[in-house]
Chains A and B, each alone.
Chain A
Amino acid sequence: MIVRIAWIEDDTPIIDPVVFLIERAGYQVHRYVSFADAIGNKDAILGSDLILLDIIIPNDGPALSATPYLGLVLVEELYSVSIKEGRSFPPVLILSAVSRERVVRDFKDKYSDKIKLQHLRKPVLPSILKERVDQILADAKGG
Chain B
Amino acid sequence: MSNRPTSFAEVLPPHATLSRAATKLFRVTTGLPAVLYTVSGSDLVVDSENSTVNFTNHCLEMMRLAPQKCHSCHKERARQALAVNPNEPSRCHAGLWNQAVPIVIDGKPQAVILYGQMRLESDCVNDESVRQHERSLRDLAFSDEDMRRLEQLYLTVQPFQEARLHELNTTLLELVGALNLEDARVQHAIARVVHCLSTQMQAIIAHAENMQHPTLQPSEVRRMGNDVLNQALALDATIQTLGNFLEEYDFELQPIEPLLIKAKEIYASEANRMGVKINLVVGAPPWPSYRISKTHMQHAMYNLVHNAVKYSFRSTDRYIQIESRHNDSGVSLQISNYGIGILPEEYEMIFRDGYQGELTRGENRTGSGKGLSFVRSVVEAHTGSIAVDSKPMPSDRSRPHLNRFTLWLPRA
Q: Which of A12-20, A43-51, A86-94, A111-119 contacts B (4 or more CB under 8 A)?
A: A12-20
CB-based contact A13/B215 at 8 Å: no
Which of A14, A20, A70, A124 contacts B210 (CB under 8 A)? A20
Q: Could you say which of A15, A60, A127 has the most chain B C-beta atoms within 10 Å of its C-beta?
A: A15
CB-based contact A33/B198 at 8 Å: no
What 1/0 mask marks residues of chain B from 354 to 370 whose CB sits below 8 Å from any chain A CB? 00000000111110000
Tally of chain A residues near chain B (CB < 8 A): 30
Which of B213, B274, B309, B398 contacts A24 (CB under 8 A)? B213
Check: A105 CB closer than 8 A to any chain B CB. no
Q: Could you say which of A11, A17, A56 has the most chain B C-beta atoms within 10 Å of its C-beta?
A: A17
Known A-B contacts A17-B227, A97-B194; the reply to A58 vs B365 at CB < 8 A is yes
Which of B213, B271, B364 contacts A57 (CB under 8 A)? B364
Q: Which residues of chain A are within 8 angstroms of B366 by Cβ–Cβ distance?
A: 56
CB-based contact A123/B194 at 8 Å: no
Check: B4 CB closer than 8 A to any chain A CB. no
Q: How far is the CA of A97 from the CA of B202 in the complex (A)?
A: 10
Check: B195 CB closer than 8 A to any chain A CB. yes
Q: Which residues of chain A are within 8 angstroms of B364 by Cβ–Cβ distance?
A: 56-59, 68, 70
Known A-B contacts A21-B210, A123-B205, A126-B210; the reply to A14 vs B363 at CB < 8 A is no
Tally of chain B residues near chain A (CB < 8 A): 35
Q: How far is the CA of A18 from the CA of B269 in the complex (A)?
A: 15
A28-71: which residues lie under 8 A (CB-CB) from chain B? Answer: 33, 37, 56-60, 63, 68, 70
Q: Which residues of chain B are within 8 angstroms of A127 by Cβ–Cβ distance?
A: 209
Which of B202, B213, B231, B315 contacts A123 (CB under 8 A)? B202
Q: Which residues of chain A are within 8 angstroms of B363 by Cβ–Cβ distance?
A: 58-60
Enumerate chain B interface residues (CB-CB to A < 8 A). 191, 194-195, 198-203, 205-207, 209-210, 213, 215, 224, 227, 231, 269-274, 309, 313-315, 362-366, 398
Kindly list the 5 A-B residue pairs having the minimum CB-CB distance in the complex, ordered from nearest. Answer: A13-B273, A17-B206, A123-B202, A58-B363, A13-B270
Pairs across A and B, CB under 8 Å, 29 listed:
A13-B271, A13-B309, A14-B199, A14-B203, A14-B231, A14-B273, A15-B199, A15-B206, A16-B273, A17-B203, A17-B210, A17-B224, A18-B202, A20-B206, A20-B213, A21-B213, A33-B314, A37-B314, A56-B366, A58-B363, A59-B364, A60-B398, A97-B198, A123-B198, A124-B202, A124-B206, A125-B206, A125-B209, A126-B206
